[in-house]
């Protein structure tokens, strides 16, 4: 609606052919969940000392340098300083030729652990995995998300997109019914956002804990009484790809704070 108005007035003002403008519709830039949050929640996120998510970032920092597994290595042994991770996560999930499917950051972390370190994989929602993904994503804080859906990634993107628009559960709703149709609108006491992944892992006041994006997917699925999928499943990883592409251009905030 807004876009149509914009096109009309731009055409009028600048005397451009309306057709020309309409041929290259720029998707309106989406806003982060941060922009829909209360000032109190925003303030909590803004200050690293009051942001409880940093308790997990500290766990991540410690794990980065901790030797584990039969190869006698830590993350640091291969990668050096954490700052080498700057910008890395903006392009995840990423296609991996060995797996022949998409890897979320957590899959990549566990692959380093089992293959390079000969250590045990971490559970998706463990404090170590939350902390490690938080500190790695935090290196890209402020940088725009920028995943590719070209080439090998394309079919996975299509699957994620299909999931996003498919009605499910007793309430028979799709993700899009809440997050595309009604951002900014109140659903009972909550204000719906665009439902973007840029703040994850997120410290949710309701959880009293840092939590993964796939945990949030399970919550949104269960709320409409749909059968949730496993964290790290292909379904949720493809959905993460679709969602991250939708959020391309939006800045990384990890670890964010949400209600």
Binding site for ligand HEC (CB under 6 A): 33, 173, 175, 177-179, 187, 190, 192-193, 195-197, 199, 202, 216-217, 220-221, 223-224, 239, 243, 258
In the complex, least distance from residue 143 CB atom to ligand HEC, rounded to whole angstroms: 17
- C-alpha span between 60 and 88 (Å, rounded): 16
In the complex, least distance from residue 30 CB atom to ligand HEC, rounded to whole angstroms: 10
Among 19, 170, 206, 208, binds other proteins (CB under 8 A): 170
7 binds, among other proteins, ligand HEC, none (CB under 5 to 8 A by kind): none
* Cα angle for residues 51, 52, 57 (degrees, 5° grid): 95
52 binds, among ligand HEC, other proteins, none (CB under 5 to 8 A by kind): none
Q: Does 166 bind other proteins (CB under 8 A)?
A: yes
Q: Which is nearer to ligand HEC, 159 or 177 (CB)?
A: 177
- C-alpha span between 13 and 211 (Å, rounded): 48
Q: Does 172 bind other proteins (CB under 8 A)?
A: yes
- Sequence length of the chain is 259
Among 132, 173, 250, 252, binds other proteins (CB under 8 A): 173
SS3 257: strand
Residue 168's φ and ψ, nearest 5 degrees, are: -155, 165
Question: What residues act catalytically?
Answer: 220
Residue 118 φ/ψ region, left for φ over 0, alpha for ψ in the -120 to 50 degree band, beta for the rest: left
Sign, CA dihedral 31-32-38-44, equals negative
Residues 6+ apart with CB under 8 A from 66: 74
Q: Does 123 bind other proteins (CB under 8 A)?
A: no
Binding residues vs other proteins (CB under 8 A): 166-173, 177-178, 181-182, 185-189, 222, 225-228
């Amino acid at each position: 609606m807004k876009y149509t108005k914009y096109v009309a007035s731009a055409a009028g003002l600048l005397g451009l052919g309306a057709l020309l403008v309409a041929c290259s519709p720029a998707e309106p830039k989406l806003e982060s969940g941060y922009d829909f949050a209360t000032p109190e929640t925003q303030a909590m996120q803004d200050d690293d000392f009051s942001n409880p998510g940093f308790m997990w970032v500290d766990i991540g920092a410690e794990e980065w340098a901790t030797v584990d597994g039969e190869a006698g290595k830590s993350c640091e042994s291969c990668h050096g300083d954490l700052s080498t991770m700057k910008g890395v996560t903006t392009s995840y999930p990423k296609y991996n030729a060995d797996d022949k499917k998409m890897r979320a950051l957590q899959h990549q972390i566990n692959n380093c652990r089992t293959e390079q370190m000969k250590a045990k994989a971490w559970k998706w929602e463990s404090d170590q995995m939350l902390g490690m993904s938080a500190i790695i994503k935090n290196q890209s804080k402020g940088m725009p998300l920028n995943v590719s859906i070209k080439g090998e990634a394309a079919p996975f993107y299509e699957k994620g997109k299909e999931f996003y628009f498919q009605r499910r559960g007793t309430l028979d709703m799709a993700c899009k019914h809440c997050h595309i149709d009604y951002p900014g609108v109140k659903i009972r006491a909550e204000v719906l956002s665009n439902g973007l992944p840029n703040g994850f892992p997120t410290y949710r006041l309701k959880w009293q804990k840092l939590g993964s994006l796939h945990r949030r997917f399970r919550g949104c699925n269960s709320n409409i009484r749909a059968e949730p999928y496993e964290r790290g499943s292909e379904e949720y990883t493809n959905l993460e790809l679709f969602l991250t592409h939708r959020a391309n251009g939006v800045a990384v905030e990890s670890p964010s704070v949400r209600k």
